[in-house]
Amino acid sequence: MKILVADKISPKGVAYLRQQPGFEVVEAYGSSPAKILELVKDVHAIAVRSETKIGADVFAAAPLLKVVGRAGVGVDNVDVDAATEHGVIVMNTPLGNTVATAELTFTHILCGARPVPQAAASMKAGQWDRKSFSGIELFRKTLGVVGLGRIGTEVAKRAQAFGMRVLAYDPYLSPTRAKAMQVEAVTLDELLAQADYITVHMPLTDQTKYMIDEAALAKCKKGVRLFNCARGGIIKEAALIAGLKSGQVAAAGLDVYEDEPLAVDSELRKLPGVTLTPHLGASTAEAQDAVGIEIAEQIADVLNGGVISNAVNMPSLDAATLKVIGPYLELGGKLGTLVQQLATSRVERLRITYWGKIVELDANPVTRAIQRGFLKRISGDSLNFINAPTIMQRLGMEVETIKSNSDADYTDLVLVEAVQADGVTLSAAGTLLGKANSPRLVALNGREVEASPSGALLIYENHDEPGIIGMVGTLLGREKANIAAMSLSRNNAGGTALCILNLDSRPSDAALKELTGHRAIKQAVVVNL
């Protein structure tokens, strides 16, 4: 079997692949997209870092391809949806760069306190200027960590070793874990108001993009210091530049940018209080050796028919089991994502109940699919079927699974219940319909419905009275949001009605605000599946 190593990974990883019986390794670093398309025609595996793009055209041109391995965390350069459509496993190495990125982050924090890069440049220019490079100490200062995942946790540990007070904002951080970490769990506004230094360690999502913008900076102490070694776009660069110029921000350290590479004429390059590095988070010898060897071992396991690990688009399953349980994985993922988007406060526990034929199967992969679906919009690039339970445990969320032998209205049924910290329980139940085993939503918060869990869903609850459906239809019509399907349920005439609309496109926030402001609408939300 042929393996294409498209980007330069650790020589130890390449050597490991060459040592495997029956493997042919082709190293083609720096190949053009056209050359890649030519090379993949007969390859069974591709190993990349971040340089080579593996898009839909590559998968279409590679009929023998079984696995793409990314030596690193993010898979932004791999079209995962296209890989899934072509039955190709996509794997990453989520643990190898944790320490490297945490240490780089803390290096930036130190440089934000003591202007070492600027002083070093001055010395190399032949100067001896002690007055211009006075700094401050980290001791007894307050560090705000936005996102207490793997890397944020390691940064917090290092800050504590320097005698810093550590505040942590993470919507899914439990009080128990915060206490164990000896950090103070706070709201984002509290963190912004109290922190002398702020470092971000969140994935880039719709919710986290521009999390630190003009409004956020206005809530900070004057002279705050900001750091981002996570993902470009969490800190709004225009707001940061304005803050540096006004003095609201005293210093900043960046390893990632909204657009990479950073533009030559970017104002960030010209501001004296900014330390910039060219996306070096994982660029240590140890991290590169670790991820190179790890991805080589994972690729070899897949090609040899062994365990599938760290897959971002499937669980650790052999092909025969996957064929049977695959439809349940899709259903579980949809239900997990749905209840997460319905939640209005921190979820403390997931309760998953199975009925029917699935009770006789190993439901663990389905449970993992539900967990991954729940975490999909709130966790980082390293999330997969393997580490979803660990991430949930780290966030302080319990998971209870029940295999029921009682009668159900369906041959197969999966119920996912999310128990919030305020005691409210949200639930969604689904089944598989037809020869195609298509996922179907059949109950929502205890109310019978019948809807396809796909695309944009507008879910609203209203007082049962005439004219509501017409009002909603008119509103969506103005939005050019076409209704693909509708499911309506009510408890009794004149009581409360629940409606689920499958939409071709998401309505605007303004339209949703108008809808929720209507006197008959009790609540409304748009979820994306």
Q: Are residues 296 and 335 in the same domain?
A: no
pLDDT digits (tens, 9 = 90+) for 339-351: 999 998 899 999 9
- If we measure between CA atoms, which residue out of 154, 150, 95 comes closest to residue 395? 150
CATH, residue 486: 3.30.70.260
Q: Are residues 416 and 484 in the same domain?
A: no
Q: Is residue 181 part of a domain?
A: yes
Q: Pick from 379, 398, 422: which residue ends a domain?
A: 422
Q: Are residues 36 and 54 in the same domain?
A: yes
Q: What is the pTM of this model?
A: 0.69
Q: What is the DSSP letter of 92?
A: -
Integer Cα distance of 112 and 101 in angstroms: 16
The one catalytic residue in 114, 279, 506, 518 is 279
Q: Are residues 89 and 172 in the same domain?
A: no
Q: Is residue 176 part of a domain?
A: yes
Question: Which residues lie closer than 8 Å to 520 by C-beta, 6 or more apart?
Answer: 462, 463, 465, 468
CATH, residue 190: 3.40.50.720
Q: Are residues 106 and 252 in the same domain?
A: yes
Q: What are residue 521's DSSP bridge partners?
A: 462
Domain interval for residue 390: 315-422
Q: Are residues 218 and 271 in the same domain?
A: yes
Encoded amino acid at 457, one letter: L
Q: Are residues 231 and 168 in the same domain?
A: yes
pLDDT value at residue 172: 81
CA angle at 16 for the pair 13 and 18, rounded to the nearest 5°: 115
Q: Are residues 189 and 238 in the same domain?
A: yes
Q: How many domains does the chain have?
A: 4
Q: Is residue 434 part of a domain?
A: no
Is residue 325 within 8 A of residue 366, CB to CB? The reply is: yes
The one catalytic residue in 70, 150, 225, 231 is 231
Q: Is residue 435 part of a domain?
A: no
Q: Is residue 443 part of a domain?
A: no
Integer Cα distance of 301 and 459 in angstroms: 44
pLDDT value at residue 36: 97
Q: Are residues 75 and 161 in the same domain?
A: no
Residue linked to tokens 């290092």: 158
Encoded amino acid at 359, one letter: V
Structure token pair of residue 218 = 């206005």
Active-site residue 269, yes or no?
no
Q: What are residue 500's DSSP bridge partners?
A: 459, 487
Q: Are residues 77 and 106 in the same domain?
A: no
- If we measure between CA atoms, which residue out of 476, 461, 470, 438 comes closest to residue 520? 461
Q: Is residue 258 part of a domain?
A: yes
472, HSE (Cβ side, Cα atoms, 13 Å): 25
Q: What are residue 478's DSSP bridge partners?
A: none
pLDDT value at residue 342: 94
Q: Pick from 422, 440, 465: which residue ends a domain?
A: 422
Considering only CA atoms, give the Rg of the chain. 25
Q: Are residues 84 and 118 in the same domain?
A: no
Active-site residue 506, yes or no?
no
Q: Pick from 422, 447, 463: which residue ends a domain?
A: 422
Q: Is residue 325 part of a domain?
A: yes
pLDDT value at residue 319: 59
Active-site residue 231, yes or no?
yes
Q: Is residue 272 part of a domain?
A: yes
- If we measure between CA atoms, which residue out of 43, 44, 4 comes closest to residue 27? 4
Q: Are residues 130 and 197 in the same domain?
A: yes
Encoded amino acid at 133, one letter: F
Q: What is the chain's pLDDT, residue by residue, as a tens digit (529 residues)?
A: 999 999 999 999 999 999 999 999 999 999 999 999 999 999 999 999 989 999 999 999 999 999 999 998 878 899 988 887 787 889 999 888 899 999 999 999 999 999 999 999 999 999 999 999 999 999 999 999 999 988 999 999 999 999 999 999 998 888 888 999 999 999 999 999 999 999 999 988 888 999 999 999 999 999 999 999 999 999 999 999 999 999 999 999 999 999 999 999 999 999 999 999 999 998 999 999 999 999 999 999 999 977 788 888 876 665 566 677 888 999 999 999 999 999 988 999 999 999 988 888 888 889 999 999 999 888 866 576 767 887 888 888 999 999 998 888 888 999 999 999 999 999 999 999 988 889 999 999 999 999 999 999 999 999 999 999 999 999 999 999 999 999 999 878 878 999 999 999 999 989 999 999 999 999 999 999 8
